[in-house]
Amino acid sequence: MKLRQSCCLILTIAFVMMVAGCGGGSSSNPPPPPAAISVVLSPQAPASMDAGSATSLTAVVSNDSANAGVKWTVSCGGSSCGSFSAASTASGAATQYTAPASVPNPATVTVTATSVTDSTKSASATITISAPSAPISVTLTAPPSSLAAGASVALTATVANDNANAGVTWSVTCGSAQCGSFTPTTTPSGTATTYTAPAAPPSPATVTVTATSVTDTTKSASASITITAPPPVLADGNYVYHVAGQDGVGNYYLAGVFTVLNGVISGGEQDMVDDNGNNQDSLVASGSSLGLVNGNIQLILNTADPNVGVNGVETFHGTVVSNARVLISEFDTFATATGSIDLQTSTAAPAGGYAFNLGGLDGLSPQNTFVLGGVLNISGASISVSNSIFDYNDGGNVAQGQTFTSGTVSAPDSFGRVVLTLNPSASSGVPSFAVAGYTIGTNQIQLVETQDTLGGVLGGTALGQGSNTGQFTQAGVAGSSYAFGAIGQDGFSQNSTIAQMAGGFGLNADGTVSGVIALNDLTLNIGAQITSGTYTVDPTGRVTLNVVATSGSLPNPLPFAFQLYLDGNGNALELGVDDTQATSGLAYLQSAPSADFEGSFALNVFGIANFNEAPAWSAVGPVTVASDSFSGFTDYSVQNSDNTASIVTPGIPLSGSETSSNGQFSLTGLNAQNPQTPSSFGYYPIDGRRVIAIELDNQQMGLMMLEGLQPN
């Protein structure tokens, strides 16, 4: 019993001591254990690397009071797994890991950062090692070794191994401030840019053009080009120029001759007609000039006539096709019009057969669209009426196979200007009319109506037939095809309106016609297949076509009648002679045409915009077609909304694509309302270097000519 009590006493004392503490001291809690060390890779290691490549790795160690950092190791299934630039790093400090030179087997490595303080704490990442990809490289395709000052050339760069397909940026350096320019400055791989040399050779006379990869700016290709003194813009001689379009009062036609002597314009003369009447003017050497502006030719002619041009001065921009031909567009606020400059090869009096056509307006009030064409047989100073014939369409009033009672041709002056006065038979209903003609050579005369009884506004062309005069037969024409482009008027829309047409006529051996007709009048824009039709051929070279065309966008087939007037040398003139369209234009014998074409071209285009009061617009410039892609620029003109003046803008970039399978262009830079809006054109090749195209969308009208540049 005493023993049990002693035990209880001892237990009680022990319990009291646990509660109160031993030795009478105060109560306290023990400190918590320290936080565990942790290691993370920050940022994360890459998931994959090329063999032999390097990357930066960083490990962050937390709760390491010793701040001892990490040790780096790598393991894999092979003996060579890579290496580190620093095997130990402080927390947050980077090491560079270099992958093995070859892919291990299996193709992964594991990199590990282990805490120096606590080797049980680490962080790892698995990286897939792959064979290294080829580096990006840039090459230039055959850049020229020299280029004339002010001239343009297409340059192409190809980028290899660029997974981003970002292309190149173009730059040029030289020893002066003016080294030239590119349009555009960035291109996809294999797509050309247009480089325009500076207006004068730099000093020293070389430039270095460089194409730099957008993806990897350390990769580029360069070439040196020697810039030479420019040749004369046009060699000495006489040049016939003509344009057709609209000025502030309506239809507008201009033709003339200027003389280049020692590289400058020394004189000339011209005829112009618009709704205000006719003007015949001499050209004044003072104030006239010829030069290059940003790669295009600039022609300034001083007429000293305040009723012509801007205070008597006309400005044209153009792209040189050859040393004998330039495509031009008027580039001032007076008019919007396109045409050409052609070297004059003869001022001799015309003789023999001439196919001709005229288009514009009659002299009635209100005026109608009036087109007239035919074949004139010139004998001395007279028209041989028995071998001459004409057709016309006066706002849907059509007369075919008409005759002349008489006609005269004046002797040419020193510039080759002649006046043809033509007197139609009374039964034709056409008054006497006269045209001034500027002779390019025996093969071509540019025509502008001069003062006459008709009082219209007409311009056109005559083509010399030479030895072909009176020798045309259906058998000689059968099997040929002609591409054409024309402008005039139609009646398909709610109101009769300006229209443009283009297409191709196939003249089959059995007397039938095949081909396609495209039309745009700002309401309709169609490409219609010719489903039936016939043609006949007169000995004069006058071809009469009656065709039916159908299109999926039209409820009924369209009947058309056309006249072609042939010169027998691959050229023709077109006239629309039915009660739904009155058009006139040029046509060309198709000679081995290619649906796919490439190279450097001169482009000019005239059209009507589909906004405000439907102002006229035009453009001219050098373009390059490479790998079905367009690049280049145009000098652009568009009339103000009130049609009283033009706004001219140089150097608008042009780009786009060509689809040969359906014969279409998609081009950006030609829309009068917004240059960034693409325009769709259907095109008709003439031969390997010439193409006619017509805009076929609901945005605007445009009729285009492309001519391949020829070496001088």
What tens digit of pLDDT does each residue of 141-181 get?
Answer: 888 999 988 888 989 999 999 888 999 999 999 998 899 99
Check whether 494 has a pLDDT greater than 50: no
Non-local CB neighbours of 268 within 8 Å, separated by 6+ positions: 238, 256, 257, 258, 259, 282, 283, 301, 415
11 SS3 class: helix
State the fold for domain 137-228: Immunoglobulin-like (2.60.40)
pLDDT per position as a tens digit, 246-291: 999 999 999 999 999 998 999 999 999 999 999 999 999 999 999 9
Strands across the sheet with 168-174, in order?
A: 146-148, 220-228, 206-213, 168-174, 186-187
8 A C-beta contact, residue 395 and residue 429: no
Whole-model pTM: value is 0.73
Exposed (0-12), middle (13-18) or buried (19+): which is 510, by Cβ within 10 Å? Answer: exposed
Residue 596 has pLDDT above 90, yes or no: no
Determine which of 298-307, 447-456, 635-644, 694-703 has the lowest per-residue pLDDT on average.
635-644
CB 41 within 8 A of CB 125: yes
Give mean pLDDT, residues 704-709: 96
Quick one: average pLDDT of 340-350? Answer: 97
pLDDT at position 293, please? Answer: 86
SS3 466: helix
Q: What phi and psi, each to the nearest 5 degrees, are found at residue 270?
A: -155, 160
Q: Are 649 and 643 in contact (CB under 8 A)?
A: no
Q: What pLDDT does 398 receive?
A: 96
How far, in Å, CA of 51 to CA of 107, rounded?
10
Q: Is 513 helix (H, G, I), strand (E, B) or coil?
A: strand
Is 563 in contact with 356 (CB distance < 8 Å)? Answer: no
Helix/strand/coil (H/E/C) assignment for every residue in 642-704: CCCCEEEEEEEEEEEEEECCCCEEEEECCCCCCCCCCEEEEEEECCCCEEEEEECCCCECCEE
The residue assigned the tokens 């420019």 is 230
Beta bridge partners of 59: 41
Name the DSSP class of 5.
Answer: H
In DSSP terms, which residues pair with 389 in a beta bridge? 375
pLDDT at 555: 66
Cβ contacts of 355 within 8 Å, gap of 6 or more: 373, 374, 375, 462, 463, 465, 541, 542, 565, 566, 567, 572, 573
CA Rg, the chain, in Å?
A: 40
Percent of the chain with pLDDT over 90: 78
Distance, CA of 327 to CA of 332 (rounded, Å): 16
| Cα distance between residue 183 and residue 637, in whole Å | 19
Element housing 212 (H / E): strand 206-213
Is-same-fold flag (41-59+71-130; 137-228)?
yes
Confidence grade of residue 506 (pLDDT, cut at 50, 70, 90): very high
One-letter amino acid for residue 478 of the chain: A
Predicted confidence (pLDDT) at residue 325 exceeds the cutoff of 60: yes
The confidence score (pLDDT) of residue 200 equals 85
Query: Which tens digits make up the pLDDT trace of 236-257?
Result: 999 999 999 999 999 999 999 9
The class that CATH gives domain 41-59+71-130 is: mainly beta
| pLDDT score for 496 | 54
Unique residue bearing structure tokens 């700002």: 522
> Which percentage of the chain shows pLDDT scores above 70?
94
pLDDT at residue 355 in the model: 98
How confident is residue 641, by pLDDT bands cut at 50, 70 and 90? low
Say how many CA atoms lie within 13 Å of 5 toward its Cβ: 2
Comparing C-alpha atoms, which of 139, 91, 143 is closest to residue 113?
A: 91
Give the dihedral sign, CA 64/67/72/73.
Answer: negative
Q: Is 441 helix (H, G, I), strand (E, B) or coil?
A: strand
Take residue 57 and report the two structure tokens written for it: 């790795």
On the 0-12 / 13-18 / 19+ scale of CB atoms within 10 A, 441 is middle
Say if residue 592's pLDDT is above 80: no
Domain boundaries, the chain: 41-59+71-130, 137-228, 237-344+592-708
Is 484 strand, coil or helix? Answer: strand
Per DSSP bridges, beta strands 220-228 and 146-148 are parallel
Residue-wise pLDDT tens digits, 296-308: 999 999 999 999 9
- pLDDT reading at 315 higher than 50: yes
Strands (E), 508-615: 513-520, 525-537, 542-550, 558-566, 571-576, 581-589, 599-608
Which strands make up the sheet holding 137-140, listed edge to edge? 137-140, 152-160, 192-196, 181-183
Query: Per-residue pLDDT tens for 444-481?
Result: 999 999 999 999 999 999 999 999 999 999 999 999 99
State the pLDDT at residue 273.
Answer: 97
Between CA 33 and CA 648 the distance in angstroms is 84
How big, in percent rounded to 5, are the helix, strand and coil portions of the chain? 5, 55, 40
* CA 681 from centroid of its chain's CA atoms: 11
Tokens of 433: 């009319």
d(CA 186, CA 692): 29
Q: Confidence band (pLDDT; 50, 70, 90) for 22?
A: very low
